[in-house]
Structure 1
């Protein structure tokens, strides 16, 4: 297939990376808006794909850059409502919203391999590849919002998009208490705490100066807390107040603010100029009353109710786990930033 055809058609989306090529897959016009995620669960893919040599794409990179096209990014800790926020932003209009494009997971994997000395790419090649991938994602629309997977927190902030119009990032988190209260009854988060435990305990131990954790000695709630600690530390390392990045406390915001206020916070950060009738339309959207991942009827009040129940049911274990995290934080110099998020 002709390269110009692929690059000019917004329905050809970069999907994955291998050492010599980027694989593009064809999506339909409603794939981005109808899909909670852009992996195998995405809707409307045609099944067609094509492999393009990276060298050919790098030749085209100067023509892909468009100073008017904006890139906004959303990073987040796991299981914190980021899919809902990205779904909500779809309602704002005039933005191309990507929810966890798999090509960026591939890029994060390459950075992990590079850090471990097992990547076929050198540092400069990875930086150039990162710029290329983002240029491909944002070339078809003026306002573009990319919600990353929590795995992508490893992607270097200072390496990306040196010649692209990158805007302040939004970082979504929640307090440790709320994270555990949600996670203790969440099969997905509990599974994540087990399956991703090894990498997270290694990350923790690489930063801890006075304590060494053994994954097999941790309680269930401590494993959930480990997810929070590891990912919050990564967010802290990326967050830049001087670049106007925004820390968005999901549960605090949705539990204490009116929907209109939440919409206005997001509109201000992502630079949407909304009229009052547009705000009203967003506030009354069905996004607020349906599960953002599965489509069943489920609102934030359900999450809040469950967390309150769990805070009562697991009060002793929750208190002990938070105290454990506080002790670790105070004993270890490189863990002190966790205090800001507790």
Structure 2
């Protein structure tokens, strides 16, 4: 097993902070391409791999490789579609939502607490080692683009600090369609609520919503609170020290002007803009990005959003007014 870990087809698949160990699994090029999530759903019945000590990860770095680029987002805003569209460029392969990144993101806000299972240095070493491994592309590709889980946005600044060549896309959408997208799906609301604690902590660290406690906020407002937190975070990144290494992307703009927006992304990531027309013509536009066997196009989305805005009109209006009042304080 130890020798196999030097092969780039083995990925660090799970990070167990209690047992201080890493699950390594072999995923070939096709398995990576098909996977919408690098979690248990991507594990084949005959998966090859096993658990190894955390040191098996920390001992393997590839600092001479250009780092994988990244897509960070607010959730349910077209990031999986973007990841698949970027695979139009033959050198690119997407790695979508690797679990260890989520594990580190959950641990990051409490690294300075006595209950943390990682020190600050250990967490930074683990993040650096994970990204180095995810930067090792499998032939015929030469560059990976990692799409993070939406709860991982607290890692954007640490990653940019560690990797001066890394470039990131920060993806979101306006509040009203965001709320309509979430509220039509209980699972989507759960995703947003799961990240609400870190997002409230972020807001309060920046002097917003300091009077609030999460247990007093209904779920539809937690969704809006998360949107506000990510707007503030993305704005700060786009206007701060890493302004030339991040680019904002609005999903509604991508749908309205796909060629224009994909060209912006391609230039930002150092990809040949001549392939934009191929990306615009990609069949991914007409499929559900997280399950490619299901048809789901722009008209289907517009119909679903219109129905959700009608069904959840009261909650959407309440959340809009509530978050506007928060932002004005």
**Cα distance between partner residues in 1 of 2:282 and 2:185:** 26
1:250 matched residue in structure 2: 251
2:51 matched residue in structure 1: 51
Q: Secondary structure of 2:291's partner? A: coil
How many angstroms does 1:200 deviate by?
Answer: 4.7
When residues 2 and 316 of structure 1 are mapped into structure 2, their CA distance, relative to the original with a 3 A threshold, is: closer
**Cα distance between partner residues in 1 of 2:56 and 2:210:** 49
**Cα distance between partner residues in 2 of 1:2 and 1:314:** 53
Q: Secondary structure of 2:115's partner? A: coil
Unaligned runs of 5+ in 2: none
1:132 matched residue in structure 2: 129
Matched, 1:6 2:26: no
Alpha-carbon RMSD across the aligned residues, in angstroms, is 2.9
Query: Paired residue for 1:105, among 99, 102, 105?
Result: 102
Return the TM-score normalized by structure 2. Answer: 0.84
Unaligned runs of 5+ in 1: 332-342
When residues 44 and 263 of structure 1 are mapped into structure 2, their CA distance, relative to the original with a 3 A threshold, is: farther
Matched, 1:184 2:183: yes
**Cα distance between partner residues in 1 of 2:161 and 2:46:** 30
Q: Deviations over 1:107-164 (max 9, x none)?
A: 22332441443223221222222111111111346422110001111225246663x4
Q: Secondary structure of 1:119's partner? A: coil
**Cα distance between partner residues in 1 of 2:197 and 2:167:** 32
**Larger of the two Rg values belongs to structure:** 1
**Cα distance between partner residues in 2 of 1:123 and 1:195:** 23
1:335 matched residue in structure 2: none
How many angstroms does 1:287 deviate by?
Answer: 0.3
Query: Paired residue for 1:83, among 71, 80, 85?
Result: 80
When residues 144 and 312 of structure 1 are mapped into structure 2, their CA distance, relative to the original with a 3 A threshold, is: same
How many angstroms does 1:66 deviate by?
Answer: 1.7
Q: Secondary structure of 1:166's partner? A: coil
1:338 matched residue in structure 2: none
Matched length? 321
When residues 160 and 129 of structure 1 are mapped into structure 2, their CA distance, relative to the original with a 3 A threshold, is: farther
How many angstroms does 1:28 deviate by?
Answer: 2.8
Q: Secondary structure of 2:157's partner? A: coil
Once structures 1 and 2 are overlaid, which stretch shifts more, 232-241 or 300-309? 232-241
Return the TM-score normalized by structure 1. Answer: 0.81
Instruction: Trace 1:262-281 onto structure 2 (pairs within 5 A).
Output: 262-275=261-274, 278-281=275-278
Q: Deviations over 1:230-281 (max 9, x none)?
A: 3333434444453331010111331x21x33333233222221143xx4443
How many angstroms does 1:205 deviate by?
Answer: 4.8
1:175 matched residue in structure 2: 174
Instruction: Trace 1:261-300 onto structure 2 (pairs within 5 A).
Output: 261-275=260-274, 278-295=275-292, 296-300=294-298
1:93 matched residue in structure 2: 90
2:302 matched residue in structure 1: 304
Runs of 4+ in 1 over 6 A off after TM superposition: none
Q: Deviations over 1:165-190 (max 9, x none)?
A: 63221000111122123223233223
